[in-house]
Amino acid sequence: MRPDDANIAGNVHGGTILKMIEEAGAIISTRHCNSQSGEHCVAALARVERTDFLSPMCIGEVAHVSAEITYTSKHSVEVQVNVLSENILTGAKRVTNRATLWYVPLSLKNVDKVLEVPPIQYAWKELEEEGKKRYEEQKLERLVTKQRNGDLIFPVFNPDRQNKEPYTVGYSQSSLIHLVGPSDCTLHGFVHGGVTMKLMDEVAGIVAARHCKTNIVTASVDAINFHEKLQKGCVITISGRMTFTSNKSMEIEVFVDADPFVDEPKERYRAVSAFFTYVSLSKEGKPLPVPQLVVETEDEKRRFEDGKGRYLQTKAKRQVQMQPLTQQ
C-alpha cells in the first residue's frame, strides 16, 4: 500500500480496498466459469453483500487478498473474499475486511447472454443448503432494491448549498460526473465493478465529510446491487445523500445513473445502488459524536426511519454474533 492509496486520514482509501476485493472475486469466478469446455465467458459483478471494515489498513503494509467460491447456482457464483494486512517489519497480520460477492457469467460472443455455471463439489450437504439459503435471500433483496430505484437525487450546486441549513440532507448531498474511459473497463468495454465501487465510496465520503466537517472513514458497505452494465463512453453520475445518523455513524445512500452517448444512445438508467456507513474521527483517530441529521420533508423522514430500521437490524445481528464469543 503506497501513499497514493491513502485517504486524508492517512489510512488506505476504502474504495481502494473495495476495488481489490472485486478484482479477486472477478478472477476466481471467471476462472471457474471457464473451467469446462464450452462457450467462453467473463464473470460480471451482480451484487456485493454487506462488507465491514474491521480494521484500518495503513500505508506501507502489504495487503493479502484471498478468494474462495462457496456456492454456485445455475447462473451465478458466490465468492467469499478475505483481506489481511501485514506489517512487513514485524510480520504481524490482522484481518481488515470480509466480503461476499455474487457474479454471473456473460458470453464473450454476446454479453447479454448469461451462461450456465459449472457446479462445485461441497464437503458437506449442509454447506450447499446454507449457500442456497443465502442465494434466495440475496435474490429477494435485489427485487426490493429494484422497487426503490425510481428515486432520484437532483444535483445541488454551490450557490444553492449556501442557502441550505447545516446538517440537512441538501447541505451535504453531493454528486460526481465521470466519463467512462478505456482504463475503467475490462477488455470487453464494460466498467470494472471495483472502479464503480471506488467512485461510490468517494462520493459517500464527500457527503459524510460535508456533514461532519471532520476526518471520516468507511465503517461498512451495505449490499451493493449492480442492476445494469456500464459501457465505455457513457457518462455516469454518482450521487449521494445522507439518510440516517446514529450517535456514532452516518448512513449514506449512493446511486449510479448512466447516460449512454456512444454506439446506441438511449435514456438515462439506474445502474448501481448501495448504502455506505461512515464514522467521524478526530485528528488523533478517535471516534467522535456525529451531528444529528435534520430531516425536513416527508420523504426524508421516511428514509430516516428506513435507515434506522437497517441500523437496528445490523446492531441486533452483531449482538447475536458476539454472544457465542462472550459465552466461551
pLDDT score of 126 more than 50: yes
C-alpha cell at 319: 449482538
Q: Which of 7, 11, 34, 225 is catalytic?
A: 7
Residue 324: band (very low, low, confident or very high) from pLDDT cuts 50, 70, 90: low
Which of 90-94, 127-131, 248-252, 262-266 is predicted least confidently?
262-266
Closest CA to 81 of 121, 32, 24, 27: 24
C-alpha cell at 236: 455516469
Of all residues in the chain, what percent carry a pLDDT higher than 70? Answer: 91
Q: How far, in Å, CA of 291 to CA of 166, rounded?
A: 10
Residue 325: band (very low, low, confident or very high) from pLDDT cuts 50, 70, 90: very low
Cβ atoms of 222 and 204 closer than 8 Å: no
Cβ atoms of 21 and 65 closer than 8 Å: yes
Closest CA to 250 of 283, 298, 213, 284: 213
Identify the pLDDT of residue 146: 61
Q: Is residue 7 annotated as part of the catalytic site, yes or no? A: yes
Mean pLDDT of 286-295: 95
For 125-146, b/e burial (b = at least 16 CB within 10 A) is eeebeebeeebeebeeebeebe
What's the mean per-residue pLDDT of the chain?
Answer: 90
- CA atoms 27, 41, 179, 224: torsion sign: negative
Identify the pLDDT of residue 239: 95
Closest CA to 34 of 80, 77, 79, 65: 77
Q: Which of 11, 34, 184, 201 is catalytic?
A: 201
